[in-house]
Structure 1
Amino acid sequence: MSDNHFAENLDKNEYFLSLPKFVQENIKQAGPKVCCEEDLRRIAENLTQKQ
């Protein structure tokens, strides 16, 4: 059982759903520890800056 409910519910997060599909896939595939929306935003920013 995972304690990271935020990461388990990314598909229901409005910000996550607003991201480009490639960013969503990268976040899911990389499996970073996303504990809160702040983590999610930081990871998404890093991914979009690299593109």
Structure 2
Amino acid sequence: MRKIIPIEEGDYYLSEKGYKVFTEQYHLKRGYCCESGCRHCPYGFEKKTGKKQ
């Protein structure tokens, strides 16, 4: 079971279209890669290739 990580200041920002964009800070706190091709993925996952670098 995965833990719920509380969202704090600096964990995300709003895009021009109003979507939440999670930052590298949040991804590192979460502790794993979800393999969704996140914009700020610190784990090196590339959605186009489906591989981590």
Bigger relative contact order, structure 1 or 2 (CA pairs below 8 A, ≥6 apart): 1
How high is the TM-score relative to the length of structure 2?
A: 0.26
Bigger-Rg structure (1/2): 2
User: Higher helix proportion, which one?
Assistant: 1
Higher strand proportion = 2
Using the size of structure 1 for normalisation, the TM-score is 0.26
